[in-house]
Amino acid sequence: MDRPRHSKLHRCGQLIWNLCIVFVVYGIIFEVIVVSRTGSFNPFSKPVASSNAPTIPEGSLSGGVNYRLRPTTLVKNINDAYAGPRRHVDTLANYGKLLEACRGSATGLEKMRFVYDCLEYLSKKEDDYLFLPSDSPASKSDPSYPAVDTAAPASQTNIGQCPGPVQLFHTYWTGPSTWRVELFIKAYLYTQNLPCSRLWIWLDSDTNPTAVADMMQDKGFARFLPLVERGDITLKAWNFPTRIPLPKGTVASDPLYSQILANRALKSAGSTEEKKIEDLGDGVIIHPDGSEWIEFSERQMTFLPVAVSDAVRFIVLHLNGGVYLDMDIMLLRDMRPLLLTPDHNFAERWAVHSHPGDFNTAVLSLNANSSLSSYLVRGGVRMGLNFHPMIVGRMAWKDGRVEELAMFETGLFDPIWGEFNWGREGRCTVPCFKDYGQAFLGTREAVREEWQSFDGPQLEEEEAKAGVTELKKRDAAPASAAEKIVKGEDGSYGGREYRLEEDKYPPTNRTLENFFRGAWSYHIHNQWAKHPQPNSWFSVAQNAHDGFLSGERTNLYGEKWGGPEIMSYDRWREFD
Ligand SMILES: *[C@@H]1O[C@H](CO)[C@@H](O)[C@H](O)[C@H]1NC(C)=O
Ligand SMILES: *[C@@H]1O[C@H](CO)[C@@H](O)[C@H](O)[C@H]1NC(C)=O
């Protein structure tokens, strides 16, 4: 009688075991669905793109709504010139104040997590950290600069004159010109002082030797060819150099090598031998003529770093100076006051890490041919061609050189990074984003939480109705020749009225004015294949950029576009 009992028990256990497996499998499937629908691991989060809100009828055109009739905003009078006039061309930023206001002390980091407060400071206290130097302004540093009030502005075919040094902006890219390249360039055009800025796009030519020629033929990039012509944009072939020049005397000034040099000098004292190439190790070479180099071995050249772009920024800045921006950085403000500062060496903190060497180099600025830039390039080579920002940063910290590279808080360039792992304290930012996908979303659900920290005056809104002028304009000039507007017999577009309640991507009161005001940039963090939904924050940015570049609207500084005609963003049919 024992055996059947045992087997019953056994079967019972088996059953429970099977049930457990079913639960686990079910749980996994459920989680996969949640993650794929909401982009979040939280099973209670709302779907990101709910396509089945009950009021929206099935069908094409955004579920019944004619996208051509969709208003692009609810705001009655958009304040485009929200930043006020652009600062004087000699304006500098006080790094010390920026560090203290957003970080607190270097040891205490009292303010590091309070991103809202940092943005408040950046947007409302400009006069505290921006200043005009009373003596030796940059515009007077070279007699060849034109005077501030007579410098020619940019025109259709001429980039204009800069009364002062021109700043270089670098970015790096492989592959075709996508929407993201367009967003990057247009945000640059929208915000920067163009006669005083140049954008160099480095295209990986080790993997594709014809990268530059390909880009010049690229359909997506065609809209920017007038700006290549005008001199705003330069396409540069990136080939990993076989050697990099160091400014004379860098080696001797580095304690790591000065000992070796001293020993050698002792040994060769009195010797009549002809001077030879000196190899100090780690690729550091001194030629008989005294020039100093980093030279890469054949082996290193065959095993180029996996993260080429990590290395590119350091090498490009060492040789040319300026600022490097990853392609997923969207500029929001004029960078000149940060870049004109004599020692404009800075990067960003890695989220809210407290280690003083934990840099992020999505935004990196270095003086060309400087002791610091040479040190960082040498260091990356010494670390085995590893230019990961945290590796290089911690190395600099160990060597006691970390203070030469200012570490700005995330509020300046990537205001929502602190949202992750409960890094942020105090209020949420405006808009309040909990993840990097949110800027792409135009659905109703996305709006819910984003204004929680906003307590400024409400923007006056209009009743949402199809913008007739908008419609006429689009009717007259379809976005592209391929797109024929289909008009019904009765002159309406598909025969349906526009009804806000039915729209999956309704117009909102979003404007760039309230998009992380104060921050110099917004970091999108990859998501390269995503497209912005209609009326999302990125869609609002697109309209602002296109409005500016078509001459209909101003940029944030109230300036009118004087340059060549630039084609507008394409429409994403997947959201029609
Ligand atoms: C840096 O040094 C290199 C080599 O000496 C030189 O070609 C380059 O023009 C210098 N760059 C700047 C910005 O001074
Ligand atoms: C935009 O509308 C939301 C309500 O949907 C409101 O809470 C917020 O304050 C408004 N923002 C502005 C700038 O008017």
pLDDT tens sequence across 289-321? 989 999 987 777 776 666 889 999 999 999 999
Average pLDDT, the chain: 86
Residue 477: helix, strand or coil by DSSP?
coil
3-state secondary structure 393-448: HHHHHHCCCHHHCEEECHHHHCCCHHHHHHCCCCCCCCCCCCCCCHHHCCCHHHHC
Please, which pLDDT band fits residue 480 given cuts at 50, 70 and 90?
very low
Q: Report the pLDDT value the prediction gives residue 62, as an integer from 0 to 100.
A: 55
Q: Which ligand is nearest to the CA of 168?
A: 1
Q: How far is the CA of 160 from the centre of ligand 1 (A)?
A: 25
State the closest ligand 1 atom to the C-alpha of 369, by its place in the atom list counted from 1: 1
Residue 211 has pLDDT above 80, yes or no: yes
Please, which pLDDT band fits residue 494 given cuts at 50, 70 and 90?
low
97-133 exposure pattern, b = at least 16 Cβ within 10 A, e = fewer: ebbbbbbbeeeebebbbbbbbbbbbbbeebeebbbee
Rg (CA), the chain: 28
Listing DSSP states for 233-283 in one string gives EEEEEE---SEEEE-TTHHHHSHHHHHHHHHHHHHHTT--PPP--EE-STT
CA distance 360 to 390: 7
CB of 410 sitting under 6 A from ligand 2: no
CA distance 476 to 553: 19
CA distance 507 to 512: 14
Q: Please name the helix (run of DSSP H) or strand (run of DSSP E) that holds residue 349, with its range, or none.
A: strand 346-349
CB of 397 sitting under 6 A from ligand 2: no
Q: Report the pLDDT value the prediction gives residue 53, as an integer from 0 to 100.
A: 39
CA distance 510 to 78: 10
Residue 375 has pLDDT above 60, yes or no: yes
Q: Report the pLDDT value the prediction gives residue 495, as an integer from 0 to 100.
A: 52
Q: Which residues pair with 246 in a beta bridge?
A: 292
* Per-domain boundaries in the chain: 15-48, 242-256+275-301
Q: Report the pLDDT value the prediction gives residue 51, as an integer from 0 to 100.
A: 40
Q: What is the mean pLDDT of residues 33-39?
A: 50
Summarised one tens digit per residue, pLDDT across range 405-442 is: 999 999 999 999 999 877 899 999 999 999 999 999 99
Summarised one tens digit per residue, pLDDT across range 227-257 is: 999 999 999 999 999 999 999 888 888 877 8
Q: What proportion of the chain, given as a percentage, has pLDDT over 90?
A: 66
Residue 8 has pLDDT above 90, yes or no: no
CB of 166 sitting under 6 A from ligand 1: no
Residue 552 has pLDDT above 90, yes or no: yes
Summarised one tens digit per residue, pLDDT across range 346-371 is: 999 999 999 999 999 999 999 999 99
Q: Report the pLDDT value the prediction gives residue 249, as an integer from 0 to 100.
A: 86
In this structure, how many other beta carbons lie within 10 angstroms of the beta carbon of residue 307?
A: 12
Residue 21 has pLDDT above 50, yes or no: yes
Summarised one tens digit per residue, pLDDT across range 252-288 is: 888 778 777 777 777 766 666 666 888 888 889 999 9
Q: Closest Cα to atom 8, ligand 2: which residue?
A: 451
- Do 51 and 63 meet the contact criterion of CB atoms below 8 Å apart? yes
Summarised one tens digit per residue, pLDDT across range 445-469 is: 998 889 999 999 999 998 765 554 4
Q: Closest Cα to atom 13, ligand 1: which residue?
A: 320
CA distances 321 to 243, 316, 344, 372, 455, Å, are 18, 7, 9, 12, 41
Please, which pLDDT band fits residue 89 given cuts at 50, 70 and 90?
very high
Please, which pLDDT band fits residue 7 given cuts at 50, 70 and 90?
low
Residue 20 has pLDDT above 80, yes or no: no
CA distance 208 to 266: 48
Please, which pLDDT band fits residue 208 given cuts at 50, 70 and 90?
very high
CA distance 88 to 193: 10
Summarised one tens digit per residue, pLDDT across range 513-531 is: 999 999 999 999 999 999 9
CB of 514 sitting under 6 A from ligand 2: yes
Residue 475 has pLDDT above 90, yes or no: no
- Do 418 and 115 meet the contact criterion of CB atoms below 8 Å apart? yes
Q: What is the mean pLDDT of residues 533-559?
A: 97
Q: What is the mean pLDDT of residues 120-144?
A: 96
Q: Report the pLDDT value the prediction gives residue 463, as an integer from 0 to 100.
A: 76
Q: What is the mean pLDDT of residues 461-488?
A: 52
Write the DSSP symbol of residue 138.
G
The total number of residues shown for the chain amounts to 576
Minimum mean pLDDT range among 17-26, 115-124, 335-344: 17-26
Write the DSSP symbol of residue 169.
E
Of 37, 63, 8, the closest CA to residue 506 belongs to 63
Q: How far is the CA of 430 from the centre of ligand 2 (A)?
A: 11
Please, which pLDDT band fits residue 4 given cuts at 50, 70 and 90?
very low
Residue 162 has pLDDT above 90, yes or no: yes
Q: How far is the CA of 309 from the centre of ligand 1 (A)?
A: 21
Residue 103 has pLDDT above 80, yes or no: yes
Residue 36 has pLDDT above 60, yes or no: no
Q: Please list, in sequence order, all residues whose beta carbon lies within 8 angstroms of the beta carbon of residue 355, skipping any fewer than 6 positions away.
A: 394, 397
Task: At 148, list the tokens.
Answer: 């501030």
Q: What is the mean pLDDT of residues 19-36?
A: 63
Q: Which residues pair with 256 in a beta bridge?
A: none
Minimum mean pLDDT range among 46-55, 221-230, 542-551: 46-55
Q: Which ligand is nearest to the CA of 514?
A: 2
